[in-house]
């Protein structure tokens, strides 16, 4: 706890930590990559920390892929130790494109329900005959 009159505590600044946190925000909040290049996001970033220059959407996409590469083995190990239930979901995007996802559900060691998307792909439509051909 900071004592009265001692000023603001020193904080370290790491570009790598900022980029990692930005990638995680994009992933968790399902933000479009282009939002990072928006004028207001850049202004907001400068207010938070004047030295932080937000990366391009290509760099953010690359950072998100790096997070995936880092997290995939952890997820595989976690799934080995639990009984899982698999579900699928289909939906249509605002652009009228059809997608299907495969989701794993399990209860962790703290009795908390977990779920992770294991895979997703585009599909021609949501008809059973079309989805059957994918198997």
Number of domains the chain is built from: 2
Tell me if 124 is assigned to some domain: yes
70 and 90 assigned to the same domain? no
Residues 44 and 58 in one domain: yes
Shared-domain flag, residues 100 and 62: no
Q: Supply the range of the domain harboring residue 54.
A: 13-76
* Contact predicate 84/110, CB 8 Å: no
Q: What is the mean pLDDT of each run of 10 residues along the chain (135 residues)?
A: 58 85 93 93 92 92 96 92 94 89 94 93 83 73
Per-residue pLDDT at 23 = 95
DSSP symbols for 7-25: -PPP----HHHHHHHHHHH
In this structure, the answer to whether residues 101 and 132 fall within a common structural domain is: yes
The residue among 69, 76, 75, 134 whose CA lies nearest residue 101 is: 134
DSSP bridge partners of 121? 100
How far apart are the C-alpha atoms of 125 and 65, rounded to whole Å? 27
1 domain residue, yes or no: no
Structure pTM? 0.69
């Amino acid at each position: 706890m900071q004592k009265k009159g001692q000023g603001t505590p020193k904080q370290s600044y790491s570009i790598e930590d900022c980029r990692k946190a930005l990638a995680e925000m994009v992933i968790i909040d399902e933000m479009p990559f282009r939002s990072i290049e928006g004028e207001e996001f850049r202004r907001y970033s400068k207010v938070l920390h004047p030295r932080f220059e937000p990366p391009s959407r290509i760099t953010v996409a690359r950072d998100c892929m790096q997070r995936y590469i880092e997290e995939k083995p952890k997820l595989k190990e976690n799934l080995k130790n639990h009984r899982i239930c698999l579900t699928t979901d289909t939906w249509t995007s605002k652009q009228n494109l059809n997608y299907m996802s495969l989701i794993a559900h399990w209860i962790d060691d703290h009795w908390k329900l977990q779920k992770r998307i294991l895979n997703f792909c585009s599909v021609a439509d949501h008809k059973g005959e079309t989805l059957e051909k994918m198997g």
